[in-house]
Structure 1
Amino acid sequence: MSGRVLDEPVESVALPGRLADIMRPELESVAEEIVAEIRALIPEYRRPIDGPYGKSIKAGVKHAITLFVEQIADPSVSKEHAHEVHRRLGQYEMREGRSLDTLQAAYRVGARIAWRRIMRVGRRSGFSSAVMSQLADSMLAFMDELASVALDGYLEAKACSADALETWRRRLLQLILERPPAPAEAIEELAQLVGWAVPEVATPVAVRSLYRAGTPARPVLDPDVLTELAGLEPHLLVPGELTRERIAVLQAALPDCRLAAGTCVPLDAVADSLRWARKALTLVDEGVLPARRVTWTDDCLPTLLLHSDELLVRQLRGRLLAALDGHTAKQRERMIETLRAWLDAQGNVLDVAERLNVHPQTVRYRMRQLEATFGDRLREPDARFEMELALRTIRVAPGRLLPSPRAGR
């Protein structure tokens, strides 16, 4: 960019001050049109614009066109605030991991849309071709200037960030995990910037420290592993299938952490797989899943599904326990134990007796109690299926009795 500055005189034709009055009502709609066009034409910006990301883009566009119109009315108006906004916008773009080409393309789109609107308004208002030519020169010089300011901010942020590459790698991981999914083109561009080969499938890993000290900020890992270990929910992403050799490297690099390996999925489903892995760690903490250094979600998908909605789980469990209302805690535990064994053994009395280590006659006695409690539900497939689901949510440690039915509800 040439960095032309509007303080320099351009030509002798004076822009009419009333053009500013005509353009002011157009500012809001032209700003929205510019933002929409940038997002439509440049994949890297095609993401939800709520939050800081969208505000920075909207603020930059709004300041730019407002300042241009104000300079028509008063050429001496200060540009300091607009320069600061666009310098920060350039810094933000670098930290987001977008390239200089992407940033400059956004300014070109903005200049084209703004000029299209000004031409329409100018012609409608009857301005001469000399005035419109002067306006075109002023617009191009103005956008060139702001783009140069944003470029300065971009280069400043890059020079000040010794960890720029690691910042971009974390940003790439965030982009892959975005919901709704980020455009594939945006991921491809940022991946190319950091030298990461985009895989067809990948495996996320949820990480949880076993101690309060937290996870190490920079463990020694393979260069193709993307990491975010500084947040509240540390995680990383391994391209392709997570092999036993890979998991051994992760365990060695994170010796004081528990890991949950997600399912290997296409890149646009990584966020869901990571959610399952995090849920697996939670179930380990709750004692539902065994406490191991590494939990493989592929090995516990039914349990994850069953515990995907805790309110629904409590409702399901409460319906089962409600049928045992009026029994003592010890009786409830014995009946639940027998019902579980009976369902597992598909009603075979001898198999149930072996599972419970009791006499078959004892099983028959207990089954008469279950018949009296549950009645025809024991013979209905849907009811049995519901019972089995509820039973799989009940964990009773040795020596600890079941909660009361009302507490379960």
Structure 2
Amino acid sequence: MTVEYRLDAGVLPRRLADVLRPELASLATEIVDEIRAKIPAYARPLDGPYGKSIRAGVQHATSLFIEQIANPDTSAQKCYEVHHKLGQNEMREGRSLDDLQAAYRVGARVSWRRMMRVGKRNGLSSTVMSQLADAVFAYMDKLASVALDGYLEAKATSAGALETWRRRLLGMILQTPPAPTAAIGELAQLIGWTVPDKASPVAVQALPGTGHNQRKPTLDADVLADLDGIEPRLLVPGEVTDGRLARIKAALPQCRISVGPSVRLDALPQALRWARKALTLAQHGIISDGLVIRCEQHLSTVLVHSDDRLLATLRDRLLAPLSGLTVKQRERMLETLRAWLDTQASVPDMAAQLGVHPQTVRYRMRQLELSLGDLLHDPRQRFELELVLRATPARPAAKRRPAEVGVTLPAPRPRP
């Protein structure tokens, strides 16, 4: 914890330290007694480790204040560590934040009350006393702030709160527009999560009939998770290795998961969108990887389906000449087109891929030439046609008979 606070040596005369130093021991006792008397939560006996931490906090505070008057370069690190830990202990002891802040206010009042008596007894000027008052209350405010940080840190890292903050961090990383890097770093530090250079989003989808009421999954400690939302998701630092993927799948046996590509943090919202799109495509049978999808292997498919309405418009325009065919005939023509593109128009290879006689391939291609004409030979339209065919699921391959040569198709419609 890096914190700095220095009294202004040009404001407070250094000889004031010699005047105040004899008051240290009794002042610390008076502050502790007053806190116990004024705040019911602190009325318990101060025996044991808890009482020692309270007394140590007060003693470090009063001692540091006086030593910084004598030497403004005196380090505050040890005192701040004590008060930071004191704030943590107060949260773990079950005291409220109001009680903690009230204790520092009481400490400031008691300290100032004592210093007014000392000032009067030693004939300190009103100017010095005014400056001393400002210094006392500013110093106690700083210590209260340090203790507050410790209190909030302990609260954030308690069992229930830790999960809440981890989900909050995940939401900050995946929100659009992205949260400030500094805000992500501060929250990550608070919960003890190391911010990686790159990370991989994982989209999660419960299988039909399983619902979300599963046992709490056991995931690796560095995996951020939000499985209770409308769109469950994980965030894995770095690449998702095969071993990591196996552990995630074991933790989520009733889910389909889609692993997005590993990208920088500012690109994670888009990568998660691609992973979720891959889940949707798998649900519709367009991606057939089973229950574990590596989105990176299907980026072209995700790209083609990034605008389904545009894709449908392109499909309708390109394949309009085949609209007069029956469903079965149209499927046969489409699978022939796919084979034509896959084999670079090699008739023997097309025949082997389709499981038909080469003469059948030639017959079908003549029909396609008549129906589609220049579309098959224009590079731009041929590219568009391949996009459409890649985005249109092929029907499952059936057992074909070799005697498909004599299939009769209706005459193609005249081209306008």
TM-score by length of 2: 0.57
- Taking a change above 3 Å as real, the CA distance of residues 340 and 223 of structure 1, as seen in their structure-2 partners, is same
Q: Which residue of structure 1 aligns with residue 162 of structure 2?
A: 165
CA offsets, 1:185-215, max 9 Å, x none? 1111000000001111111111111143216
- Distance (whole Å) between structure 2 residues aligned to residue 325 and residue 254 of structure 1: 44
Partners of 2:261 and 2:295 within 8 A in 1: yes
- Taking a change above 3 Å as real, the CA distance of residues 291 and 298 of structure 1, as seen in their structure-2 partners, is closer
CA offsets, 1:196-244, max 9 Å, x none? 0111111111111114321646311111111101101111111111111
Is 1:267 matched with 2:258?
no
CA offsets, 1:92-139, max 9 Å, x none? xxxxxxxx9xxxxxxxxxxxxxxxxxxxxxxxxxxxxxxxxxxxx9xx
Is 1:196 matched with 2:193?
yes
- Distance (whole Å) between structure 2 residues aligned to residue 399 and residue 362 of structure 1: 17
What does residue range 67-82 of structure 1 map to in structure 2 within 5 Å? none
- Distance (whole Å) between structure 2 residues aligned to residue 287 and residue 382 of structure 1: 28
In structure 2, the gaps of 5 or more residues are 1-96, 98-133, 399-416
Partners of 1:217 and 1:229 within 8 A in 2: no
- Distance (whole Å) between structure 2 residues aligned to residue 251 and residue 234 of structure 1: 14
Q: Which residue of structure 2 aligns with residue 294 of structure 1?
A: 292
- Distance (whole Å) between structure 2 residues aligned to residue 371 and residue 165 of structure 1: 65
What does residue range 4-403 of structure 1 map to in structure 2 within 5 Å? 158=155, 163-211=160-208, 212-214=210-212, 216=214, 218-398=216-396
In structure 2, give the amino acid aligned to 1:372: L
In structure 1, give the amino acid aligned to 2:277: K
Alpha carbon RMSD of aligned pairs, Å? 3.1
Name segments (4+ residues, structure 1) moved above 4 Å.
none
CA offsets, 1:148-207, max 9 Å, x none? 9xx79x96x949x85111111111111111111111111110000000011111111111
Partners of 1:204 and 1:262 within 8 A in 2: yes
1:326 to partner: Cα distance: 2.1
In structure 1, give the amino acid aligned to 2:355: N
Partners of 2:198 and 2:264 within 8 A in 1: yes
Partners of 2:331 and 2:395 within 8 A in 1: no
Partners of 1:349 and 1:363 within 8 A in 2: yes
In structure 2, give the amino acid aligned to 1:354: A
Which structure would you say has the larger Rg? 2
Partners of 1:215 and 1:230 within 8 A in 2: no
Partners of 1:206 and 1:277 within 8 A in 2: yes
1:268 to partner: Cα distance: 1.0
- Distance (whole Å) between structure 1 residues aligned to residue 264 and residue 283 of structure 2: 28
Partners of 2:173 and 2:184 within 8 A in 1: yes
In structure 1, give the amino acid aligned to 2:364: R
In structure 1, the gaps of 5 or more residues are 1-99, 101-136, 401-409
TM-score by length of 1: 0.58
- Taking a change above 3 Å as real, the CA distance of residues 399 and 247 of structure 1, as seen in their structure-2 partners, is closer
Number of equivalenced pairs: 258
- Distance (whole Å) between structure 1 residues aligned to residue 321 and residue 213 of structure 2: 46
Q: Secondary structure at the match of 1:323?
A: helix
